[in-house]
C-alpha cells in the first residue's frame, strides 16, 4: 500500500533515509537528527509531501518532495527530495509511488515536476519511459 506518511512512520522513514544515504555512497556522515528534521518539515508543510510504501505493516519505501515557485517563471514546480525503496520491495509498487507523487503535484497546482537519478542507481530510463525529459546534470565535489 502507498499512502501519505503519518508521524508514527518517523522512525521507519529515518531508517530508510539512513539506508538511502549508504546506498548513495555519500562521503559525509548520516545525521539522524537532520533526517528527522527533514521528515518533519515535509510532513508538516502544505507545500511538501511524504509518501510511504508499506508492506505487511512495515514501511519499506519513502518519497519526499516539495513544491516551489520556479525561479525562472515556469510556475509551481514539484521536486523530489528523496526517493528510496528498500531493495526487497522494489518493483511495480515503486511506480505507484511515482503515480501518487504526480497526483499530489497536480493537486497543489504544479505545472512541472522533477525527479533525480543517482549515479549509483541510475533510473533515467524509467523516467524517460514515464515522459520525463533530461534537464540538467548536477555534479558534486566534497571540499
Query: Mean pLDDT throughout 53-65?
Result: 96
Q: Taking 80 as the threshold, does the pLDDT of residue 121 lie above it?
A: no
What proportion of the chain, given as a percentage, has pLDDT over 70?
93
| Residues 6 or more apart whose Cβ sits within 8 Å of residue 120 | 23, 24, 25
Domains of the chain: 2-130 (3.40.630.30)
pLDDT, average across residues 21-43: 93
Q: By the 8 A CB rule, do 51 and 13 touch? A: no
- For residue 86, pLDDT over 80 is answered with yes
Measured between alpha carbons, how far is 41 from 39 in angstroms, rounded to an integer?
5
pLDDT at 39 over 90: yes
Residue 31: which region, alpha, beta or left (left: phi > 0; alpha: psi -120 to 50)? beta
> Residue 135 pLDDT > 80, yes or no?
no
Query: Which of the residue ranges 26-30, 37-41, 77-81 would you say has the lowest mean pLDDT?
Result: 26-30
Query: What are the strands of the beta sheet with 2-4, ordered from one edge?
Result: 2-4, 48-55, 58-69, 76-85, 112-114
pLDDT of 4 higher than 90: yes
pLDDT reported for residue 141: 60
Amino acid at each position: 500500500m502507498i499512502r501519505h506518511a503519518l508521524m508514527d512512520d518517523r522512525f521507519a522513514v529515518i531508517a530508510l533515509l539512513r539506508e538511502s544515504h549508504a546506498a548513495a555512497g555519500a562521503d559525509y556522515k548520516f545525521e539522524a537528527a537532520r533526517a528527522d528534521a527533514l521528515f518533519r518539515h515535509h510532513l508538516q508543510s502544505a507545500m511538501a509531501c511524504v509518501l510511504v510504501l508499506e508492506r505487511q505493516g512495515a514501511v519499506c519505501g519513502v518519497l519526499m518532495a516539495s513544491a516551489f515557485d520556479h525561479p525562472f517563471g515556469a510556475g509551481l514546480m514539484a521536486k523530489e527530495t528523496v526517493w528510496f525503496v528498500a531493495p526487497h520491495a522494489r518493483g511495480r509498487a515503486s511506480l505507484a509511488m511515482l503515480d501518487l507523487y504526480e497526483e499530489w503535484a497536480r493537486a497543489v497546482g504544479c505545472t512541472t515536476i522533477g525527479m533525480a537519478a543517482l549515479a549509483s542507481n541510475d533510473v533515467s530510463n524509467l523516467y524517460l519511459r514515464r515522459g520525463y525529459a533530461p534537464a540538467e546534470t548536477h555534479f558534486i565535489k566534497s571540499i
